[in-house]
Amino acid sequence: MDYASARDLFDAARDAAMECERTRQMLLRMEHAAEGIGGASFEPRVRTTSEPDRMGSRVAAMIDREDAWRARIEEDERVMAFACRVLYGADEVGGGGVDALLGSAYADVLWWRYLAAEQWDEVARLMAFSVRHVIDLAGTALDFVDANGIANTIAGERTI
């Protein structure tokens, strides 16, 4: 993934997190609504009119929309996963990312703000820091990633 800056990446990750949650909620509502579409009868039906199958076209449109939403969720998850690699490294055991190079507070502040899509006051509350401090930590971490490079940061290699 190619981003002009760490801020661009994390802004995209925040947008993806919010969009992903919104899309999941829409998908859930659609699935609940779909439970009432159709009928319980499995008897064969005979069409006695030449009118287009309105129910069939509604169901097809719903399936197409559901597929588009699932594709959107997958893309959002890819952006968020990439941002997580920048924060915590390429593998699950650590050894890379902002966490390894600057410390967990820097990585966690970015996670809460961008991947959990929290407001600054909530990030401060969750981290038990002042709002000013979490904003400063985030700014320092983003500047570091820009200076160090995204690939180097993921790998846990300090170049600055």
Range of the domain at 73: 6-34+57-155
For residue 16, tell me if it sits in a domain.
yes
- 72 or 127, greater pLDDT: 127
Tell whether 112 is covered by a domain: yes
Q: How far apart are the first and last CA of the chain?
A: 22
**What is the per-residue pLDDT for 144?**
98
pLDDT of residue 108: 98
- Whether residue 47 is contained in a domain is answered as no
Q: Give the pLDDT band of residue 40 (cuts 50, 70, 90).
A: very low
Cα-trace Rg, the chain:
22
Asked whether the predicted pLDDT for residue 95 surpasses 60, the reply is yes
How far apart are alpha carbons 7 and 157 in whole angstroms? 20
Inside any domain, residue 128: yes
Q: What does pLDDT average to over the chain?
A: 86
Task: Tell me the whole-structure pTM to 2 decimals.
Answer: 0.78
Residue 100 lies in a domain: yes
Assigned domain for 50 exists: no
> What secondary structure does DSSP assign to 66-119, as a single string?
HHHHHHHHHHHHHHHHHHHHHHH-SSTT-SSHHHHHT-HHHHHHHIIIIIS---
- For residue 50, which amino acid is it? S
Name the nearest CA neighbour of 153 among 84, 105, 93.
Answer: 84
* Kind and range of the H or E run holding 148: helix 131-148
The number of folded domains in the chain is: 1
**Letter for the amino acid at 146?**
D
Q: What is the mean pLDDT of residues 128-153?
A: 98
Instruction: Give pLDDT, residue 39.
Output: 46
Q: Give 97 or 71, the one with higher predicted confidence.
A: 97
Identify whether 101 is part of a domain: yes
Domain for residue 150, yes or no? yes
